[in-house]
Amino acid sequence: MTPPVTTQRVDLEVNGVQHACDLDPRTTLLDALREHLDLTGSKKGCDHGQCGACTVLVDGRRTNSCLLLAVAAEGSTVTTIEGLGGPDLPHPVQEAFLEHDAYQCGYCTPGQICSAVGMLDEAAQGWPSVVTDDLTDAGELGTDEIRERMSGNICRCGAYVNIVTAIAAVDA
Amino acid sequence: MKPLTYERPATLDEAVSLLGRGEVPTSLLAGGTNLVDLLKLDVESPQLLVDVNHLGLDRIDDTPNGGLMIGATVRNSDLAADPRVRERYPLLARALLSAASGQIRNMATTAGNLMQRTRCVYFMDATKPCNKREPGSGCPAVEGASRELGLLGTSDSCIATHPGDMAVALVALDAVVHFVAADGAGTIPIGDFHRLPGDDPSLDTTLPAGAIITAVEVPPLAFASTSTYRKARDRRSYAFALASVAAAIDVDGDTVRDIRIALGGVSPRPWRAHAAEELLRGAPATADSFRAAAEAELAAATPTGENALKVDLVVRLVTGVLLELTGSER
Ligand SMILES: Cc1cc2nc3c(=O)[nH]c(=O)nc-3n(C[C@H](O)[C@H](O)[C@H](O)COP(=O)(O)OP(=O)(O)OC[C@H]3O[C@@H](n4cnc5c(N)ncnc54)[C@H](O)[C@@H]3O)c2cc1C
Ligand code: FES
Ligand code: FES
């Protein structure tokens, strides 16, 4: 017999706001954001870590929210696309995506933007990628580096060319 | 996903006792990038998750002999970015960086990566027979979709591979897995950590039941400064290996003084190429001897119709990587 579904209190800090949620421990952070906190900017593409549409920042680091249980995110700081900026005060990466037309349908875009913000921070810390020649000196982000580092975000519309251009423009 | 409860112990003792209690099927939860996926697929259905992320196992420490002690919950991205890893163990940094995506590397942990399950499509589909998931139910892979699967150390009952990259580098480096269990602490040489299936593929590793990995120790290896990792896959990034090679080489003039080679994507265990290494120690550092050694290693391969391409692929990967490391080719 399967045990009855029970919920538990989970405190989540999202975009600077504390939320006391009552969640089934199986709930992923993605479902908590979308279904319980009405933050539908983060998208569900594959639900298995394969597409990046659900990317959010957890303690500033890009993370697939579909593979993170909400209970396990308790105590962390979560930033979603809504928290990065909005129409009145867009984040520089949001602005660059607008400027360079870095989307078609827009479904992958919140994940692309959150991922790019996390990725640029990683690069600023000098993290190498697998296409970096000298592991001890990561150097500048060229097109190859951006493509490799953003490979966790799939765009079904194939807007990659403009996505790379937008990110390169922010990095410049 | 079956109903479950979640516990977040604050100490290792607490975690060990939660795991050892054994009242209900229990799994450790680290980054969750493999486990949560398998929970959703009903491939794994523990009733209790014990979160290991808050046990203070997230440090990378120098060992007295010049190696590194890597905590179980160090994230793959932090390990790859660590200056000591980049400098002393390029093969490990490159193996980590060639895996998954930036997001997943930020979540994935050292221990979780070692313990990740196979990506065999039959294992991951709970509606299909699979001797690993459901002992005795059969292995459709042998006659079925096996292009991604193994050809070294496999058996009639299972041809699944360990799919990871990091462990391939660790096997080349003779790393040691440290764990604690209710009856004390222990270690397992990484070469003995992943099991060959034989007639019981259900257990992937030799980690005792109820044990928690605390760290992975990487001994010093001076010539690992001349090392790398090369991975062949169906797309350039964000894909598991069809085959991969981790190698380090020490050349004296034109002669191979010492060498480490491990292969990924070809076996249930990250495959240390002992036969090839033996042939190459003292041999001339030439394309011919690299190729001959790789071919000798693959002599024992038992490919399926679909994955026979891996024989040639591995020979070329090994030859290419060793030529790159000896500066004969880029
Ligand atoms: C889309 C996708 C692509 C990927 N591509 C690659 C790739 O190219 N190369 C690659 O190598 N990997 C790849 N991965 C796999 C990824 O690297 C693993 O899922 C990850 O390393 C697992 O680590 P984790 O911390 O998330 O483990 P979890 O999912 O939390 O746990 C995995 C297993 O380890 C056990 N475990 C965790 N911690 C401990 C401990 N301390 N002691 C004992 N047992 C423990 C858990 O109980 C569980 O059984 C990919 C994954 C996805 C989803
Ligand atoms: S929805 Fe999370 S990676 Fe696709
Ligand atoms: S813009 Fe449509 S999926 Fe990327």
Cβ distance B99 to B76 under 8 Å? yes
- pLDDT above 90 as % of chain B: 98
0.95 surpassed by complex ipTM: yes
Tell me the Ramachandran region of residue A70: left when phi exceeds 0, alpha when psi lies from -120 to 50, beta otherwise.
alpha
**Residue B248 lies inside a defined structural domain of this protein:** yes
pLDDT at B328: 76
Check if A126 contacts B (Cβ < 8 Å). Answer: yes
**Residue B282 lies inside a defined structural domain of this protein:** yes
- Residue matched to tokens 């294992």: B123
* Mean pLDDT rounded to a whole number for chain B: 97
Q: Give yes or no for residue A43 having a pLDDT over 80.
A: yes
pLDDT 10s digits, A105-136: 999 999 999 999 999 999 999 999 999 999 99
Q: Which of B87, B92, B103, B229 to mutate to test the interface with A (most CBs of A within 10 A)?
A: B103
pLDDT at B330: 39
Domains of chain A: 8-83 (3.10.20.30), 92-171 (1.10.150.120)
**Residue B10 lies inside a defined structural domain of this protein:** no
As a whole number of angstroms, the distance between CA B275 and CA B301 comes to: 13
Tell me the Ramachandran region of residue B79: left when phi exceeds 0, alpha when psi lies from -120 to 50, beta otherwise.
alpha
pLDDT 10s digits, B122-132: 999 999 999 99
pLDDT at B131: 98
Domain of B292 in residue numbering reads as 230-326
Atom of ligand 3 nearest to the CA of A104: 1
Check if A151 contacts B (Cβ < 8 Å). Answer: yes
**Residue B163 lies inside a defined structural domain of this protein:** no
Q: Give yes or no for residue A1 having a pLDDT over 70.
A: no
Which residue of chain A has the CA closest to B95?
A: A130
As a whole number of angstroms, the distance between CA A72 and CA B246 comes to: 34
Atom of ligand 3 nearest to the CA of A157: 2
Q: Give yes or no for residue B164 having a pLDDT over 60.
A: yes
Average pLDDT over residues B295-302: 97
Residue from the list A24, A28, A61 with its beta carbon closest to the beta carbon of B106:
A61
* Mean pLDDT rounded to a whole number for chain A: 96
Q: Give yes or no for residue B86 having a pLDDT over 50.
A: yes
Average pLDDT over residues A9-24: 98
A14 or A172, greater pLDDT: A14
Tell me B325's DSSP state: H
CA distances to A97, B68, B150, B220, B243 from B265, rounded to whole Å, are 38, 26, 7, 26, 5
**Residue B300 lies inside a defined structural domain of this protein:** yes
Radius of gyration of chain A (CA): 17
pLDDT at A139: 84
Confidence of residue A3 (pLDDT cuts 50, 70, 90): low
pLDDT 10s digits, B200-212: 999 999 999 999 9
- pLDDT above 90 as % of chain A: 93
pLDDT 10s digits, B101-115: 999 999 999 999 999
pTM, rounded to two decimals: 0.98
pLDDT 10s digits, B242-283: 999 999 999 999 999 999 999 999 999 999 999 999 999 999
Determine, for residues B102 and A130 on separate chains, whether the beta-carbon distance falls below 8 Å: no
Which residue of chain B has the CA closest to A71?
A: B6
pLDDT 10s digits, B55-79: 999 999 999 999 999 999 999 999 9
**Residue B44 lies inside a defined structural domain of this protein:** no
In chain B, how many domains are there?
Answer: 1
Confidence of residue A2 (pLDDT cuts 50, 70, 90): low
| CATH assignment of the domain containing B247 | 3.30.390.50
Q: Within 13 A of B136's CA, how many CA atoms are on the CB side?
A: 0
Confidence of residue B44 (pLDDT cuts 50, 70, 90): very high
Q: Distance between alpha carbon B160 and the CA centroid of its chain, in Å?
A: 13
pLDDT at B255: 97
pLDDT at B132: 98
Kindly state if the Cβ of A40 falls inside 6 Å of ligand 3. Answer: no
Token pair for A101:
């037309």
Phi, psi of B229 (to 5 degrees): -135, 130
Where do the DSSP E strands lie in chain B?
5-7, 26-29, 48-51, 60-62, 68-71, 176-181, 184-189, 212-218, 227-232, 243-252, 255-264, 271-272
Residue from the list A25, A72, A135 with its beta carbon closest to the beta carbon of B32:
A72
**Residue B268 lies inside a defined structural domain of this protein:** yes
**Residue B275 lies inside a defined structural domain of this protein:** yes
Kindly state if the Cβ of A159 falls inside 6 Å of ligand 3. Answer: yes
